[in-house]
Amino acid sequence: MKLKRKAFPVTTIEEPKGFIHIYPDLCKGCELCVVLCPKDILALGDDLKVHVVNPTDCIACYLCEWHCPDFAIFIEKKEQKES
Amino acid sequence: MKLKRKAFPVTTIEEPKGFIHIYPDLCKGCELCVVLCPKDILALGDDLKVHVVNPTDCIACYLCEWHCPDFAIFIEKKEQKES
Amino acid sequence: MRRLVSGNEACAEAALRAGIRFFGGYPITPSTEIAELMAEELPRVGGVFMQMEDEIASIMAIVGASAAGVPSMTATSGPGFSLMQEGIGYAAMTEIPVVVVDVMRGGPATGLPTKGSQGDLQQARWGTHGDHPVVVFAPRGVEETFALTLRAVDVSERLRVPVILLTDEFIGHMREIVSFPSRVEVYHRQRPRVASSEYVHYAEENNYNAPYASYGGGYAIHLTGLTHRADGFPINDAPTIRWNNERLRAKIEDNLAYLEDNYIDDDPDADTLIVAVGSSARSAYEAKLLTDKPLAYIRLLTLWPFPDATIHRLARGRKRVVVPEMNDGQLCREVQRCLSGDTELVSVTRNDGSMLTPQEVLEVL
Amino acid sequence: MRRLVSGNEACAEAALRAGIRFFGGYPITPSTEIAELMAEELPRVGGVFMQMEDEIASIMAIVGASAAGVPSMTATSGPGFSLMQEGIGYAAMTEIPVVVVDVMRGGPATGLPTKGSQGDLQQARWGTHGDHPVVVFAPRGVEETFALTLRAVDVSERLRVPVILLTDEFIGHMREIVSFPSRVEVYHRQRPRVASSEYVHYAEENNYNAPYASYGGGYAIHLTGLTHRADGFPINDAPTIRWNNERLRAKIEDNLAYLEDNYIDDDPDADTLIVAVGSSARSAYEAKLLTDKPLAYIRLLTLWPFPDATIHRLARGRKRVVVPEMNDGQLCREVQRCLSGDTELVSVTRNDGSMLTPQEVLEVL
Amino acid sequence: MRTEIRLSGRGGQGLILAGIVLAEACGVYEDKQVVQTQSYGPEARGGASRAEVIISDGQIRYPQAYDPDILVALSQPAFDRFAPKIKKSGLIFADSFYVHTDRKDVVLMPFSETARNEIGREVVTNVVMLGALSAVTDIVKLESLKKALKHRVRSAFLDLNLRAVDAGYKLGKEIWKKRSS
Amino acid sequence: MRTEIRLSGRGGQGLILAGIVLAEACGVYEDKQVVQTQSYGPEARGGASRAEVIISDGQIRYPQAYDPDILVALSQPAFDRFAPKIKKSGLIFADSFYVHTDRKDVVLMPFSETARNEIGREVVTNVVMLGALSAVTDIVKLESLKKALKHRVRSAFLDLNLRAVDAGYKLGKEIWKKRSS
Amino acid sequence: MASAKASGKKHSFTPMVHTYLRMDNRFPHVWCPGCGIGILFAALIHALHELNIPKDKILLASGIGCTSRMPGYLDTDTFHVLHGRALAAATGVKLARPDMEVIVVGGDGDMLAIGGNHFIHAARRNIGITCIVLNNYNYAMTGGQQSPTTPRDMFATTAPYGTIDDPADACSLAEASGAAFVARTTTYNFVQLKRFVKTALSRKGFRLIEVVAQCPTIFGRLNRMPATKDLITWIKGHTVTLEAAKKMDADELRDKIVTGVFVDREVEEYSDRYARLIKKVRNAH
Amino acid sequence: MASAKASGKKHSFTPMVHTYLRMDNRFPHVWCPGCGIGILFAALIHALHELNIPKDKILLASGIGCTSRMPGYLDTDTFHVLHGRALAAATGVKLARPDMEVIVVGGDGDMLAIGGNHFIHAARRNIGITCIVLNNYNYAMTGGQQSPTTPRDMFATTAPYGTIDDPADACSLAEASGAAFVARTTTYNFVQLKRFVKTALSRKGFRLIEVVAQCPTIFGRLNRMPATKDLITWIKGHTVTLEAAKKMDADELRDKIVTGVFVDREVEEYSDRYARLIKKVRNAH
Ligand SMILES: Cc1ncc(C[n+]2csc(CCOP(=O)(O)OP(=O)(O)O)c2C)c(N)n1
Ligand SMILES: Cc1ncc(C[n+]2csc(CCOP(=O)(O)OP(=O)(O)O)c2C)c(N)n1
Ligand code: SF4
Ligand code: SF4
Ligand code: SF4
Ligand code: SF4
Ligand code: SF4
Ligand code: SF4
Ligand SMILES: [Mg+2]
Ligand SMILES: [Mg+2]
């Protein structure tokens, strides 16, 4: 039984270490990611959805993605060049 | 709710150390007392009930009474004189 | 005193005023508020609220508490009611008074937890195995929930039977004005007046208002779910079983007049009779008022024992009997039994979580 | 092959031959032999016997095994049957085929464990909360226990409904000669023939012999006891609920002809009709043969859905309908519904653990 | 023709097995209609035990004995309870060791003694009894009993049982001769 | 006379409490007949929320709204869902912050803004709305609402709520005047 | 064999145990010859007697099973509940009448299979109940089906090829659930059995005693120990004390019956807690 | 607050987690903002993905409750059973299809109250099921009643004066019942949570993971921690590792959430045992 998949819009923000993908329609504004982010990258907007407010410091630690109860924020780490 | 108590006949055998009281109507002949008696005082009769076959050696240890599942054999120990 | 309360609140309040002092329950929508209120109020009056591990434990805990002399109650909804059935049969067999409130929701299985239905009318009668006496009341709204909860406790204590109160989500969560009486008369079960040696727990005449012993009363009673003699001890012989079945049946049948309770609005000119119960009766009666046609109407406050004779009498000679309800026609089956001649039977059902509307009834009138 | 077997043995043997490969059960007199035989035989045919921790676990385990594609069964008696009710409703709601055998004993509560009765006829229909489809067969003896167990498995697999087989202690422990067929035709449930993306688990037309997916089949199905849409996911909206209720009802009602099964011995001269079911029908028929009076006779092999129309037709114009049974008149209530005019209804009951005798029936003929 | 046989005694005397063997002998090996039933006390163990077999040419509906044509009693309580309920024309066979009676119409037979003394095992009293029944009534043939025993008895005990049924048959013939003469 | 009022919005806006206060005000303090109902979604939390109050001089049988005389909508989804179902002669009050519409017959009122700005707490939007209803309709008196609030609201929040109901009343009078003129 | 002659002189003696029994014509009781249930029953009566617990304060409750037939014979208030449900019903009794001494007795099936949930929750709550589980390793009443305690590879009518389930341990479960007192013994050791019952009756909260007992008729027969003495010997041979067990490894312990007191701690009994709650709530008013 | 602008270049990225979900219009899912259930769900999906378990071999079953809504969203075979009965139904599935990876998820009420009996027996049998108990300390779905795990003196709608029951310990119960793998963690520690789920999925027999999770809407509100972060902080503050716990006494441990692996042992899974039984029986023929 395959349900018809709905395409949810995604907002992608590029950061030095990777991309932050946010699904506003899924975000419920619980602030968990905001609270847990070690670099204060995230904040809730007036629309009570999460937004990226600090677009350079993300360390791609995944804490926001992992603790988002709504599958609304994802981190795509950039490949690190072998140095 | 008190049930009418039935008087079950009892056979009492006097032994040096005490009395052995047997309720034949209650005894089911399981032989537990026979097996457990350390002094071989007891045996089953042809009627498949327990009987005292060794009327002098009972040490009034209560093993028969305690392990009789049918409340059919009781030991009444004689008072020991303080010596 | 006039107050705005919900059906579930009215039920809890009535239970407290009727002397219920033990409540064992397990949460389930849409009955939970009853438990929550009892949790808050019972300790205030020295009673005990126990949230048990499940509904089976709940019914058995109230059976135990009642056997120990404390008027006891539980409240649940369909899934929990199904789980309680064995215990309800046990209460019937041992003649331990308990009140079980079933706030009906859509079923079967988990069904429609937050929406009402009248899907358990037949289960309330036949849910447990074996034949057994049971009394079932069904209020149509909040005020009647109050009144019938009082009555449920009263009947259960007087007749020593489990009594079931069937309300539903609509009633349980609806708020209406209730004029609370300032005083409620409560029947207190009588201890035996004879010595233990004279006492017979299931005596022939133990029918209505008879004294009976509870645990801790010094009567060394034995209660068992096995078929038993008058003294409570198990038997296997046919005549005694028959005697006891007869007694249990007589408890209900000899007290039919006391148990039966209908609201009747007859009209000699009417060729149609409406038979209704519980919350859907509100729509049925509204429909009656919306038409000019003469209509006879009966609403059952006591659903079980079923008022066969009364319905038979009311239906006699009518052209049609209309039975509106919120299930697949459970009440209708019973009405069908009571008809004679060629009275036409019209079942009006709605079973989708929404309330039957007066218009739906009107359509067939 | 002629063999002497008991009702319980015949039931187990038929279950094995019908393809039951999972049995989850909990011992209870007088059904235990079925479990014991399954424990012995199932591993021999590569099936699984599980003694579960209680009857609730038993019904749910067979629901699980069946959902995973294995024809499954349990057997119990009154107290266990009461405990299984919620699970039976779940099977009805999710349309998972299971067979539940209730070997009736005296009730309610613990009742009369070693003696037979017909006390669960109504419970088999109304035991769980909410309206729900259910099919119930009732054999009169050992050979028919074999035949109806086969049929129970067949119907349950074809219609995706829980099927209940009601036998009783008399039948379960009685030995009779059964002529075992050398081969039994077994219906195997069909897997869907469409791709997962096309598959609809509760499609409108899924009525009889329709293919359906099981767990592990690659269809990613969702089963829930909540009211659901055709795709299996929960909903709350009235039209879909109505649609689904309708479907479930139609499964039974559209297949009435296939489900109905009566033994009829009509006599145009008879002014009395006997309606009987199960083991007590033996005495009823014996009584019929013992008198010279012309008598019409119907015995219900399919108890539910109830053959309203057939009984109505047979009873029409008769003076009397006699309903013998071993309870307090449960079958009689249903027959009463089917009567019209002023046919007299005579209930002959015995409910004391002993079998109703032909003489008791004869007395009223 | 409907023949009702009641086998009674106390738990442990193998009456239910006897009922099954008898029913199977008649039903499977002689193509008659049979129904075999038994009744348990409330405890399912110990106490009185009773098995009934109904044998008929036609279909058997009511499956229990109205008034047995044949009563076998292997214990005094069973005898006391059931002997009065037997048909006028009925036959009563009782174990001469366990049952005492003044009634002349009762056929006392040393089933248990035969089992003990001739076979050496009292447990086969039930099968001795069946052999004797076969000898003195026409309800079942010895051969059929043997076939049924082969089917129902574990092979380790089969020989013992076959000897017992033969001993019973012989016993029956002898006693019957004595009585008839 | 039967008046049907539907209060709608989203979970958390206190619509059920508003329904209760309104029903109690009319039913207990003005001696009318009332029935208050609500509907839960499948999850009992979040999502749409709706309370209904039926007010009548006589007995109320069917307890739900057929076609509301008055609809209050505090959210857009609620407005979109219920506004079309309103009686021809019915009145619709909607929160001017959360609801947008072109319909001229809809009375937009700044319930939530009044709560936020005048009382300082958006949570009392529901009570502001009740005050306004009392001002612009004759279903309930301001005094009765206050009595009901005293009974239903925890004392720590009572003052806040009384201020809110007054503010709502004032708001209602003003807007009504504007509209009428 | 010489049959001893009865003592000549008139001798009046009433066994203490008989005074606790409903000594009517339902005796001899239903249990089979040599069954261990009667031994537990005797020990219980001794304990009640020695502790001088007033008879009209005693409630003995049970579920359904051979063991569960016990209440029918004790001359106090008695409660023969549904299969598995004795603890739930007894919880109601205890809360309604906290002054009563509530004792629940049941079989391994009754208490640990169908009644398992009530068991762990009664223990968790520490409701004031003395709970005695008679473990005869099978469902005896229904004829010998496997129970949760049937040891691995032993036979039962529903385990005709030997059990493949690992057995439940009532004592571990009670301990994990928080019971105040937990002990195990056997019917072979009457003195210990009586002592454990007495100790349990003297404690507060939920108290469990598991009593391993012989069921010769069914369990014994199915496992080639048809004589009571075989089974008693088997039990004796498998028994090790808690002290000894501490020195044994898991393998050695696999089929052992470890006897002793596992838990004995002070708790506030549940109905006392509830009484305290009532007091608090009423005072707050 | 500056709203970051979306990355300009066309970027195609599908979150792995989304590919495991029935990403239809029932999303966003039913759970409240900040609820811990979604975090567990994510961890479970990560574990399944990393272990490369074929989707059509997965069955996720549950009872009824907030947690138990999970199966509706996972794009595999899913089973939303009756309240408390998931383990019993899953036992049937596992025995019918031993090749499937059967996972059961449920709330503290579902698994330990009404489902307690199935829990201890599934553990005893060591049926091949990964069982995840999401412990949010209350019956959330029905609005915040006391559950068997509600800590002492905390509030619930049916414990308006604070609980007087001692809480149940799922891990101790599973251990006492014989489970093969037993561990506890919290939603605060995603890495550990995912690791425990992965380890559990790699073991045989009955495997329990208890996951303490925040229910801000109900439990939080009733206990004066309405914001998700309050509750997460509370959970974090009460967590101690098993190693640390070993050095603490009972008093210190009273209100602690001890995390770690309590049991990890090899057992023969029940359906493997049954397969062996079948082989044995068939060979004997
Ligand atoms: C609901 C229900 N299920 C099953 C039974 C049948 N039953 C009666 S006693 C029993 C088990 C007895 O075993 P146990 O508890 O160990 O007691 P024992 O007889 O061994 O002392 C069972 C399954 C019942 N009476 N009720
Ligand atoms: C037989 C039955 N009883 C009660 C309920 C009502 N009910 C639904 S969920 C639930 C408890 C939920 O608590 P928990 O299992 O802890 O899950 P949570 O919602 O906290 O995740 C209850 C009591 C039910 N559905 N069925
Ligand atoms: S990945 Fe880490 S640093 Fe980057 S936004 Fe998420 S939590 Fe903050
Ligand atoms: S954790 Fe998820 S739902 Fe919560 S604010 Fe962040 S993105 Fe939104
Ligand atoms: S008291 Fe001891 S010595 Fe005496 S008979 Fe009994 S067991 Fe034997
Ligand atoms: S133990 Fe009791 S029943 Fe057994 S033989 Fe001895 S006296 Fe008789
Ligand atoms: S069957 Fe077993 S437990 Fe039951 S009475 Fe007999 S010996 Fe005791
Ligand atoms: S009520 Fe609690 S557990 Fe349920 S979804 Fe909301 S936060 Fe989660
Ligand atoms: Mg046992
Ligand atoms: Mg929870």
pLDDT in tens, D221-247: 999 999 999 999 999 899 999 999 999
What is the least distance, in Å, from the CA of H256 to any CA of chain F? Answer: 30
Report which protein residue has its CA nearest ligand 6's atom 8.
B27
Statement to judge: residues C101 and C49 lie in one domain: yes
Domains of chain G, CATH where assigned = 31-284 (3.40.50.970)
What is the β-pairing status of strands D162-168 and D98-106?
parallel
Question: What pLDDT shows up at residue H2?
Answer: 35
pLDDT at D285 over 60: yes
Query: Does H80 contact A at CB distance below 8 Å?
Result: no
pLDDT tens readout for residues G157-204: 999 999 999 999 999 999 999 999 999 999 999 999 999 999 999 999
Interval between CA C235 and ligand 7 midpoint (Å): 20
DSSP-derived secondary structure letter, G159: B
- The least confident of C299-303, F83-87, G29-33 is F83-87
pLDDT at H9 over 60: no
DSSP-derived secondary structure letter, E54: E
CATH code of the domain in which C275 resides: 3.40.50.920
Question: What pLDDT shows up at residue C336?
Answer: 96
On whether the pTM is more than 0.95, the answer is yes
Inspect the interface and report whether the beta carbons of H30 and F46 lie closer than 8 Å.
yes
Mutate to test the interface with F, among C177, C357, C360 (most CBs of F within 10 A): C177
> Does residue B65 line the site of ligand 6, with CB under 6 A?
no
Residue D212's pLDDT band (boundaries 50, 70, 90)? Answer: very high
Statement to judge: residues D253 and D273 lie in one domain: no
Question: What pLDDT shows up at residue C220?
Answer: 97
The domain boundary residue, chosen from D229, D259, D289 = D259
Q: Residues C211, C216, C218, C220: is their CA dihedral positive or negative?
A: positive
Question: What pLDDT shows up at residue H132?
Answer: 98
Inspect the interface and report whether the beta carbons of G273 and H172 lie closer than 8 Å.
no
pLDDT at G125 over 80: yes
The Cα–Cα gap between H106 and H132 comes to 6
C46 vs G contacts (CB less than 8 Å): 278, 282
Question: What pLDDT shows up at residue H8?
Answer: 47
Question: What pLDDT shows up at residue B81?
Answer: 61
Interval between CA H168 and ligand 8 midpoint (Å): 21
What is the least distance, in Å, from the CA of G189 to any CA of chain H? Answer: 26
Concatenate the DSSP letters of all residues of D118-135 into one string: -TTHHHHHHSSSS----E
SS3 content of chain B, % helix, strand, coil (to 5): 10, 25, 65
Map tokens 């509830």 to a residue.
Answer: G274
D200 vs A contacts (CB less than 8 Å): 1
**CATH T-level topology, domain B14-77:** Alpha-Beta Plaits (3.30.70)
Q: What is the mean pLDDT of chain E?
A: 92
Statement to judge: residues D249 and D350 lie in one domain: no
pLDDT at H3 over 50: no
CATH code of the domain in which E125 resides: 3.40.920.10
CATH code of the domain in which D26 resides: 3.40.50.970
Decide if G212 contacts G186 (C-beta within 8 A).
yes
The strand order across the sheet containing E106-109 reads D2-6, D175-179, E33-39, E48-56, E2-10, E70-73, E91-95, E106-109
Statement to judge: residues D277 and D237 lie in one domain: no
Whole-number percent of chain C with pLDDT over 70: 100
Question: What pLDDT shows up at residue H12?
Answer: 82
Interval between CA B30 and ligand 6 midpoint (Å): 5
pLDDT tens readout for residues A1-52: 778 899 999 999 999 999 999 999 999 999 999 999 999 999 999 999 999 9
Q: What is the mean pLDDT of residues H9-23?
A: 88
CA angle D79, D85, D91 (to 5 degrees): 140
H140: left (phi over 0), alpha (psi -120 to 50) or beta: alpha
Interval between CA E74 and ligand 5 midpoint (Å): 36
Which residues constitute the domain of residue C6? 1-259
What is the least distance, in Å, from the CA of G119 to any CA of chain D? Answer: 13
Residues enclosing ligand 3, CB less than 6 A?
Answer: A 20, 37-39, 41-42, 58-64, 75
Decide if C81 contacts C103 (C-beta within 8 A).
no
Name the domain count of chain E.
1
Report which protein residue has its CA nearest ligand 4's atom 8.
A27
Query: Does H10 contact A at CB distance below 8 Å?
Result: no
G58 versus C207: the higher-pLDDT residue is G58
Question: What pLDDT shows up at residue H1?
Answer: 35
Statement to judge: residues D164 and D270 lie in one domain: no
H65 vs C contacts (CB less than 8 Å): none
> Does residue H66 line the site of ligand 2, with CB under 6 A?
yes
Inspect the interface and report whether the beta carbons of D222 and A1 lie closer than 8 Å.
yes
DSSP-derived secondary structure letter, D193: S
> Does residue H186 line the site of ligand 2, with CB under 6 A?
no
Name the domain count of chain C.
2
Question: What pLDDT shows up at residue C7?
Answer: 98
User: Strand pairing partners for E83?
Assistant: none
The domain boundary residue, chosen from C242, C259, C276 = C259
Statement to judge: residues C296 and C198 lie in one domain: no
Q: What is the mean pLDDT of chain G?
A: 95
CB neighbour list of residue E148: distance below 8 Å, 6 or more residues apart: E20, E21, E22, E24, E25, E28, E29
Q: What is the mean pLDDT of residues D265-292?
A: 97
Give the position, in ligand 2's atom list, of the atom nearest the Cα of C29.
Answer: 6
ipTM over 0.90: yes
Which residues constitute the domain of residue F51? 2-180
Hey, which of A75, A76, A77, A78 would you mutate to test ligand 3's pocket, going by the most ligand atoms within 8 Å of its Cβ? A75
Domain positions in chain A: 14-77
Decide if D213 contacts D221 (C-beta within 8 A).
yes
Question: What pLDDT shows up at residue F46?
Answer: 56
D109 vs G contacts (CB less than 8 Å): 82
Interval between CA F99 and ligand 4 midpoint (Å): 26
Give the position, in ligand 4's atom list, of the atom nearest the Cα of A64.
Answer: 1
The domain boundary residue, chosen from C259, C286, C313 = C259
Residue H7's pLDDT band (boundaries 50, 70, 90)? Answer: very low
H94: tokens are 């596992």
CA proximity to C252, closest of C360, C158, C133, C138 = C133
Are chains B and C in contact at 3+ CB pairs closer than 8 Å?
A: yes
In angstroms, the Cα distances linking D36 to E45, E57, G161, H283 are 18, 33, 12, 21
Q: Is H66 helix (H, G, I), strand (E, B) or coil?
A: coil
Prior bond to F84 cis, omega within 30? Answer: no
CA proximity to G92, closest of C34, C60, C45, C37 = C60
pLDDT at G221 over 90: yes
User: Strand pairing partners for D262?
Assistant: D300
Statement to judge: residues D1 and D46 lie in one domain: yes
The Cα–Cα gap between F64 and C3 comes to 20
Mutate to test the interface with G, among B20, B67, B73, B74 (most CBs of G within 10 A): B67
pLDDT tens readout for residues C87-107: 999 999 999 999 999 999 998
Regions of chain F where pLDDT drops below 70: 40-47
Interval between CA F85 and ligand 9 midpoint (Å): 65
